[in-house]
Structure 1
């Protein structure tokens, strides 16, 4: 019945154009890969990328309610065990990497106020982006257009949430510009989770000659003394989900929490500038990008020298300054071949980061949470140089594609604090990742495809810093390698309805797993083989009378295919739900002045450690609702929105800290909360 409907469909919807996966503009319908495009929601504060990506199948984006640790993002299970930041998923902004050469990235650097769209690539085609590309998230920002305009946005809501954003944009001759600045404040839902975030962004778009375009992008992120709420045990979560964990070793103040005693917090100062030059020569194209920046971080963790094994002594205060830079150059050539068109892209990508890293005791005398004696002093360097080649032949009903990338990651450590031993040394990881894909057009409205690839995931610097419960730099860690296969269907049932479905399998060797995690410090080891098998389904449709609907469903069996230690074969990978779903019913008034929607989000239970013996975070189902109004008067445009999250006031665990040695796994998500927002824009 469904197949008959697919074959009978006659109307073709407007194509969604993407560049992820192929590096050239293509309709997503004609790419043999799972890829979705998300756009920022008018009824959100645009603080976290999780707001926009809830409707993407295969992707889990959890807000930890902890701005000291960033979001928890995983793609088909890759990246789920990250203690902070994003690993296993490659982040890109306007063609410039937001992930470092070691694979670690921070989604907080994304500027969502000026976002135009977000492309999410999953499965085998992600491997063409190299190290840590279990998935790819690319943010594309707006370019200045038309007459100059200015806009002011204000948002307020539950738990002391406040945000103010001011932006301007326009185009004069061959120069387009976008400027944006914002401040976000929150008191936090959980105890000791207040945060202030300042962001600034600028983009210039120039077209100096025919067929050429130059984009220059600069952004900055600053967070001063962002409080770290830490995780809590199951008993504490059940007693009070918003409470912190009591420090049982504190004899002076027996009811004081760990977070309060050590004043756990993080300060971040991130600056980056980049440029991309694109030159077209008829159907051929040259693209060059280059970037550089600096990131400074000071983090106070919930332990001191007294809680460390003698071999470590690196202290509970992390203080590092990172300089980073990189470049990418590629050439795309189009030529006729055997009655079809052959598109070939060849290039190389280079990245480099240099950290000056120090560690201190976080106490002086009887005072905790202050920078004390120096316990670590080193310089860490990471670099990669990756040549790659992609080709695609398209003729009639068939499209054949392939790619090859050779990744080489070099890591060196120069230890200058030798009283606890010399951790100096170097590592080099390399791997070649091939990608193959085939797509067949059954009808103009129905495509079927299959793809396969080899993947590569080297340890990040943060995964190499510690070994076991007290050891130094872990030179024994090996990269994880994986084999991905996927098959899928893309169908347009009519001009208003589109369905994407995919089946996939990933086999991984030398999976990187948590060895020990305590007080904000996590060490890793290689944990043998894992298996991921799953299905994804997404649906978008327009209904009558201004109604529309969309849905996304993911099922994922992610297990250890080989036991190790006390972890049995068949145990589930921690941090990965067995299933998650999203559904939305929306309405828009015919003139576009009013809109409203009801959203549903559901997730199955999540284990917090490899053996699956401790209490998993229970599954949950949530309802959210919002309403938006738009007005226009002369050169003025106004917008207001009201949003109510967690309508049914559910109490649930939003994310887990994988493998915490003290079983402080759980991070509570907010109960019912509201947001109100308003904006005014004037075009001159």
Structure 2
């Protein structure tokens, strides 16, 4: 049996001693073995070429079409063909073709991440994934707004209700609050996105899973640098070095991004560093050590806009933002280790990580309110330490029909915040750190055992899993002027999922999936009890959901994949805003919600020079019973705020030569409601178009490249994102008009 080195593009004799594997594919651990059937099966690079991803599912009308599609051997993918490779490890923990998985999962590959993109925000890459809504707030103090089938749409800052991972290391805290900025796109090899019932196997607060995998250093050592500039004072400087061989590799990367911001008072500077060493201690194991950091000092926060202010001047800033100089500083570092060992037919995987995060944020709560408040204040100041790990065993079972693999594991995560709050004034000076108003230690801990099974039996594939998911929140209050707010709350629940797929033909697969999940409140949502009472809201319950999904995955010819899914999500005890007054937002459990939708993804290599892709989502998200919040009745049938009814992304890429690539992107979003009563002005629908091109030249050991990019070609004025339920009516965040970017870089490879 041959062993294929996907990076060198040739069989690798040094790996041939592990004869049961015929292909090696990158994860965060380095290479991962993929079993192939037949010694002479044609092999191909796991991530070779652009477009190595699968979109979601096809309507039932394609059932008949599948019988007309030509049958083709799944394992044979000749190098240079127009086949769209897409191996993923999210959900299964071992490489599997996304076409063979009975749930919605996509992989965005490096060419799509880097070809004509700036490498700054996840919105550049993930808008092409159906089911996701990724909105760039143009506010680096609050991060992106990301939702999956409606999960996470209410988050006022950061990402909530979705599980974020980077090389297996959580970028989300155990209570479900995540930060997309910690995912470094400059080093990403691919990003996998899991949606629907199967995501519940990742435990609480996993309405969807977004996982980034960094690339391994490989080949002769090289160094490179690139710079880009653009509208509104944008600039980015990037420096990197990498190299390696079959036994070890390294990658070192550093970048600085500066922007004045589209809106007033929205300047930001972001410094990111990344280092990775991957090596093989012996023939049956591999290890990766990973360090990353993020630093943002004094990032300005323009706050939201009222509708009148947005219409009058899209670049406007709330007066309170300048009065109190609203801003945020972040200092984040983390270190992780991934280890994998093959023991007979089984695989042992170990992940360990630790880090720290410091945040200081100046809010715009009026001085009169802060003076009368007994807890909180207008300055948030915390130091977070976090650590955790995963122990996983993957065991194929012999002596049973078909192929049956069991996976058992244990995940442990903890974050501990030394949290302080201060007045945001001192005397008559505003926007500075004043008297202490809060002093506590908040600890969130999760310990989740789980068991999964994957069974391939003739034309059937079954995936099942169950996790005993937990989250403990403990508060130790040291600020006793207003009494002792100490306390704790424990959340426990089983989160099972079951999926089944049937192969109607080799090129048409249909599946059904069901799962139960739950979403615990975050520390920020528990911070204040409703009304005038002081202390944490330990009475807040988790939101529980049941998800259903049916779908089809089809291959048309060798260069087109069409995926579609119908889904329904029924939730109880949805977490919504109870009141937002005097700078304090408290939350409550609402009644039932209902989300029904359809996803369609198409990706096609039209020819050697042309590629096209499309991602469409239709989502009807409503409250399914009346409830009262803040003294107002929210009627059954009202739309959930922050969730567009329709989203469409399309892309056409032309590559006339290997060293030239040009792309046209189009995006449409329907209107978005901004609060639960659906009475305030909804953010209107919009359509925007972007154009990009990239050139590359080679001269001996030197490689040069250039980038030109134009966003919002038609100079459309539109609301890019919304702040759900803002108590001041500042719901809207304007997106930039027509914007330009240019860049250039060079790379030298040592011989």
TM-score of the aligned structures, taking structure 1 as reference length: 0.96
Among 586, 598, 602, the residue aligned to 2:668: 602
Find the residue that maps to 1:291 and give its secondary structure.
strand
Q: CA deviation at 1:171?
A: 1.0
**Partner of residue 512, structure 1:** 575
Which residue among 54, 59, 62 is the counterpart of 2:135?
A: 62
User: Which ranges in structure 2 are unaligned for 5 or more consecutive residues?
Assistant: 1-60, 75-82
Q: Which residue of 1 aligns with 2:93?
A: 23
The 3-state SS of whatever aligns with 2:309 is: helix
Contact 2:369 2:582 in 1 (8 A): no
Contact 1:120 1:136 in 2 (8 A): yes
**Counterpart secondary structure, 1:207:** strand
* 1:439-518 equivalences in 2 (<5 Å): 439-468=501-530, 471-517=534-580
Aligned counterpart, 2:78: none
Matched, 1:569 2:639: no
- Cα pair 1:415 1:422 within 8 Å, conserved: yes
Structure 2 equivalent of residue 253 of structure 1 = none
Q: For 1:294-344, what per-residue CA distance to the aligned partner results, in whole angstroms no more than 9, with x for missing partners?
A: 000000000145225956431100000001000100100002354201100
Q: Distance in 2 between matches of 1:401 and 1:598?
A: 38
1:172 CA drift (Å): 5.3
Cα displacement (A) at 1:174: 2.2
Residue 401 (1) aligns with residue 471 (2): no
| 2:67 aligned residue | 7
Deviation string for 1:343-368 (max 9, x for gaps)?
A: 00001100111110000000011111
- The 1:3/1:403 distance shift into structure 2, 3 A limit, reads closer
For residues 259 and 404 of structure 2, the distance between their equivalents in structure 1, rounded to whole angstroms, comes to 52
Deviations 1:43-66 (A, max 9, x none): 111010110111100001111110
> Are 2:249 and 1:165 aligned?
no
Give a deviation string over 1:113-152, Cα, whole Å, max 9, x none: 0100000000001000001100000000010101101110
Q: Does 1:620 align with 2:686?
A: yes
Given the alignment of the two structures, is residue 82 of structure 1 paired with residue 155 of structure 2, yes or no?
A: yes
- Relative to structure 1, the CA distance from residue 104 to residue 57 in structure 2 (aligned partners, 3 Å threshold; closer, same or farther) is same
> Given that residues 515 and 659 in structure 1 are in contact (C-alpha distance below 8 angstroms), is that contact kept between their aligned partners in structure 2?
no
Q: CA deviation at 1:372?
A: 0.3
Give the match for residue 251 of structure 1: none
Q: CA deviation at 1:2?
A: 4.6
| Equivalent position of 2:333 in the other structure | 271
Equivalent of residue 524 in structure 1, options 577, 587, 612: 587
Superposed CA deviations along residues 164-196 of structure 1, whole A, max 9, x for unmatched, are 010000115722100000000000001110000
Q: How far apart in 1 are the matches of 2:711 and 2:348?
A: 46
Quote the residue 2:313 is aligned against.
240
Q: Counterpart in 2 of 1:642?
A: 708
Q: Distance in 1 between matches of 2:449 and 2:730?
A: 43
Partner of 2:224: 151
Structure 1 residue ranges (4+ consecutive) displaced by more than 6 angstroms after TM superposition: none
Would the alpha carbon gap of residues 643 and 666 (structure 1) be closer, same or farther in structure 2, given more than 3 Å must change? same
8 Å Cα contact 1:38-1:117 kept in structure 2: yes
CA 1:553 to 1:520, structure 2 compared with 1: closer, same or farther past 3 Å? farther
- More divergent stretch after superposition (41-50 vs 212-221): 41-50
Alpha-carbon separation, structure 2, partners of 1:520 and 1:586: 47
Q: Any conservation in 2 of the 1:311–1:420 contact (CA below 8 Å)?
A: no
Give the structure 2 partner of residue 284 of structure 1: 346
Mapped partners of 2:471, 2:561: distance in 1: 40
Moved more, 394-403 or 299-308: 299-308
Partners of 2:84 and 2:560 within 8 A in 1: no
Is 1:422 equivalent to 2:484 in the alignment?
A: yes
> Are the counterparts in 2 of residues 302 and 519 from structure 1 also a CA contact under 8 Å?
no
Q: Secondary structure at the residue paired with 1:127?
A: helix
Is residue 84–residue 559 contact of structure 2 (8 Å, CA) maintained in 1?
Answer: no
* Distance apart, 1:476 and its partner CA: 1.3
CA–CA separation in structure 1 for the residues paired with 2:718 and 2:661: 29
Q: For the residues of structure 2 that align with 1:525 and 1:371, how far apart are their CA atoms?
A: 31
Shift of 1:4: 4.4
Contact 2:370 2:378 in 1 (8 A): no
Contact 2:330 2:358 in 1 (8 A): yes
Q: How many residues align?
A: 672
Q: By how many angstroms is 1:641 displaced? A: 1.2
Per the alignment, in what secondary structure is the counterpart of residue 132 of structure 1? coil
1:97 counterpart = 2:159 = no
* Alpha-carbon separation, structure 1, partners of 2:383 and 2:494: 31
Q: Report the counterpart of residue 721 of structure 2 in structure 1.
A: 655
Distance 2:345 2:88 in 1: 17
Distance (whole Å) between structure 1 residues aligned to residue 353 and residue 607 of structure 2: 48
SS of residue matched to 1:206: strand
Question: Contact 1:597–1:627 at 8 Å: present in 2 too?
Answer: yes
Shift of 1:283: 3.0
**Residue in structure 1 matched with residue 621 of structure 2 by the alignment:** 558
Match of 1:33 among 99, 103, 122: 103
CA distance in 2, matches of 1:520, 1:444: 58
CA distance in 2, matches of 1:622, 1:594: 24
Q: Name the SS of the counterpart of 1:37 in structure 2.
A: strand
Cα separation, 1, equivalents of 2:487 and 2:373: 17
Aligned partners of 2:608, 2:511: CA distance in 1, in Å?
Answer: 35
Cα offset, 1:468, TM superposition = 3.2
1:369 aligns with 2:431: yes
Residues 518 and 660, structure 1, Cα contact 8 Å, conserved in 2:
no
Task: Report the CA distance shift for 1:209/1:169 in structure 2 as closer, same or farther (over 3 A).
Answer: same
Please identify, of 458-467 and 169-178, the stretch whose mean Cα deviation from structure 2 is larger.
169-178
Partner of 2:394, secondary structure, is strand
Instruction: Map 1:208-357 to 2 at 5 A.
Output: 208-245=281-318, 257-308=319-370, 310=372, 312-357=374-419
Question: Quick one: distance in 1 between partners of 2:357 and 2:499?
Answer: 38
Q: Distance in 2 between matches of 1:458 and 1:614?
A: 28
Q: For residue 578 of structure 1, what is the aligned residue in structure 2?
A: 645
Shift of the alpha carbon at 1:593?
1.3
Paired residue secondary structure (2:121): coil
Which residue number in structure 2 is paired with residue 132 of structure 1? 205
1:539 equivalent to 2:602? Answer yes
Deviates more, 1:346-355 or 1:9-18: 9-18
Q: Secondary structure at the match of 2:219?
A: coil
For residues 415 and 62 of structure 2, what CA distance do their matches in structure 1 show?
Answer: 52
Cα 1:148–1:239, aligned 2, differ >3 Å: closer, same or farther? Answer: same
SS in 1 for 2:177: coil
Tell me the CA shift for residue 544 of structure 1. Answer: 3.9
Q: CA deviation at 1:520?
A: 6.6
Distance (whole Å) between structure 2 residues aligned to residue 519 and residue 54 of structure 1: 36
The two structures, once aligned, show a CA RMSD in angstroms of 1.4
